[in-house]
Chains A and B, each alone.
Chain A
Amino acid sequence: MAQAKARRKTEAGSLSDDTTAAERHGLLRSMLLQRRFEERCAEAYALGKIGGFCHLYIGQEAVGAGAIAAIRSDDYIITTYRDHGQALARGMSPRSIMAELFGRADGCARGKGGSMHLFDRSLNFLGGHGIVGGHVPLAAGIGFAIKYRGGDQVCLCFMGESVVNTGAFHEALNMASLWKLPVVFLIENNRYGMGTALERASSIHDIYLRAASYDMPRAFVDGQDVLAVRTATLEAVRRARSESVPTLLEVRTYRFMGHSMSDAVAGTYRSKAELEEYMKRDPIMVLRMAMQDAGEIDDPGMARLDEEVKAIVQDAWDFADASPEPPLESLFEDVLVETTT
């Protein structure tokens, strides 16, 4: 990342929200960890250490970091196949994630899920799901279970903007609103469903307006500004927790990489010029500049933070590399569970 160049071009974010300096530092660290982790994912993919599909989150880190900062540890998260960033933001071990990506026995899903299917039951991280739209009804079901038990948790459901054209999205949002389920439906609008621009796929371009069909509260927010994402999510979470009312929150972001590791970053469906324009608002730089203006971080401080997260990522890589392949006898494990009741 050409940081000096980006710094010149990046407009600093505002610090006018209610975060503390320590919280802002934590958000910066979370985004930087996601970035450095995924840069190494790209490297590992090129080396053949990661196989299959690998969808990077680079450019969208503020969404995962900001939204997850707005929920409690006993709340639930469910997401799509572009799930590395959110898993890290939730506090999943970088070692167990990298080992999963490498297809090793110490992976969070014992090498059975891979990049698209990260799970951590202990953190209520209910997975990366691979069918566009398929997990949105699951989110409504998690909200239903919360309400059924009379709890005050919420379910935070991440999805890409292309989900809004699926039937599953419509069916789930209708019932969530009808039954007042405590769910935050968070759309990461990164402008493209694979290679198809939003304007070529959806009859409505202001995605959050879709919520009007379900009489559901809605909002949109700048997804490159982590503090704005956090603030908007906090309001949706408050509404879910205290009023049991779902929200459709559109977070406008942009992915700096290709749809997956299998396609070019720019070319056929978007221009290099467009990509470069969006990269001027790198979410890490937006927060860093604001913090720098406020005297909360300087260049040596940033360098130290960068070294710290790079060391964590290197450790994760080394751990994954040393982890054994899953034993062949595990092939037939976890197809069904032994029923004990």
Chain B
Amino acid sequence: MAVATYRDALNQALKEEMQRDDRVFLMGEEVGVYQGAYKVSKGLLQEFGEMRVVDTPITELGFAGIGVGAAMVGLRPVIEFMTWNFALLAIDQVVNAAAKLLYMSGGQFPIPIVFRGPNGAALQLSAQHSQAFDAWLAHIPGLKVVSPGTPADAKGLLKSAIRDDNPVVFFEGEMLYNTKGDVPDGEYLTPIGQADLKREGDHCTIVTYGKSVLLAMQAADQLAKDGIRVDVVDLRTVRPMDVNAISASVRKTNRAVVLEEGWEVCGVGAQVADLIQRECFDDLDAPVLRVHQADVPMPYARNLERAAKPDVPKTIAAVRKVMYLEER
């Protein structure tokens, strides 16, 4: 166990899996010579060569499809999108090809592929570079959707995603790459589909995942100063969702707030709230509240961007509200 950044944890996962299985290759823009737009692939070209660390032209639709084709005939591609905003150009290959081929071939063609890259907002990148697409992709049967919030989970989930025989959408975050945490050395696998109770409390549940885990943990620290103890359920995987972890926590706390980066309408939080009302209706002491991005394209100006994003004060306010405490 050593302290490492989220970026290095991903790098370790890629490196270890490429050493373990020569069918695994990394493809995307700037992954090789440039060493990765966010340096996640640093050193991989030197170790594995240009057949396995493949720089592409700027052509998301094309190289995503190349990945799916290679997966059809037995390779295990890791396709890096410089951001998920650009992956919209490739969405046909993710949704119409990767997610469908197993089913519409009657089980003949599994597609073991990982589509990964940063998702959601960084800082002042404005509307086209600041979007969270978790809900879009989580909507699609045939995909698994993973969104780790800590370095250890980033490593363990990426290794599991690469070994998975299904298409896995893997969401990272520009603002997460430099965060640090304990990361187990060597073989360390985090199961896909399993949430993690990141903090224990009995007053309220915060259900969250990905970058928002950091906000939830900060909010929990501040709430603790007022004697409010919250469970932080880190989903880690958005699809398939760990229903048992959510309901076990809500049955204990009787209150829930769902915190996500994306927009409100048809968001992941809507799915979580629905699960809670179905599974825990008699346990609830308050309506489930949601914290999310404002229902606008992301603005550029610093103050407007701050107002649009979910944050710690908004999360605290939501927890206090479901506990019927006055806002402070």
Contact = CB atoms under 8 A, between A and B. Distances in A.
Interface of A: 76, 78, 107-113, 117, 119-121, 126-127, 129-131, 134-148, 167-168, 171-172, 174-175, 178, 333-341
A335 B59 CA distance: 28
Nearest to B72: A126
Contacts of B293: none
A137 B69 contact: yes
Interface in B17-42: 25
Q: How large is the interface on B (under 10, 10 to 19, 20 to 34, 35 or more residues)?
A: 35 or more
B68 A109 contact: no
B107 A339 contact: no
Contacts of B294: none
B108 A134 contact: no
Contacts of A172: 62, 65-66
Interface in B121-177: 141-142, 144, 163-166
Nearest to A172: B62
Given A141-B67, A335-B142, A107 B106 contact: yes
B270 interface: no
Contacts of A140: 62, 65-66, 69
B62 A108 contact: no
B164 A112 contact: no
B97 A138 contact: yes
B66 A141 contact: yes
B323 interface: no
Nearest to A340: B165
A276 to B, nearest CB: 37
Nearest to B144: A336
A223 to B, nearest CB: 25
B109 interface: yes
Contact of A334 (B69, B70, B97, B107): B107
29 contacts: A78-B69, A107-B106, A108-B106, A109-B106, A112-B103, A112-B105, A113-B104, A117-B104, A119-B104, A119-B105, A120-B108, A126-B73, A126-B109, A129-B97, A135-B97, A137-B61, A137-B64, A138-B66, A140-B62, A141-B69, A142-B70, A143-B69, A148-B75, A168-B62, A172-B66, A175-B63, A334-B102, A335-B102, A335-B103
B70 A171 contact: no
A338 B164 CA distance: 9
B227 interface: no
Contacts of A146: 73
B164 A127 contact: no
Interface in B36-63: 51, 56-57, 59, 61-63
A76 B104 CA distance: 18
B92 interface: yes
Contact of B66 (A119, A137, A334, A336): A137
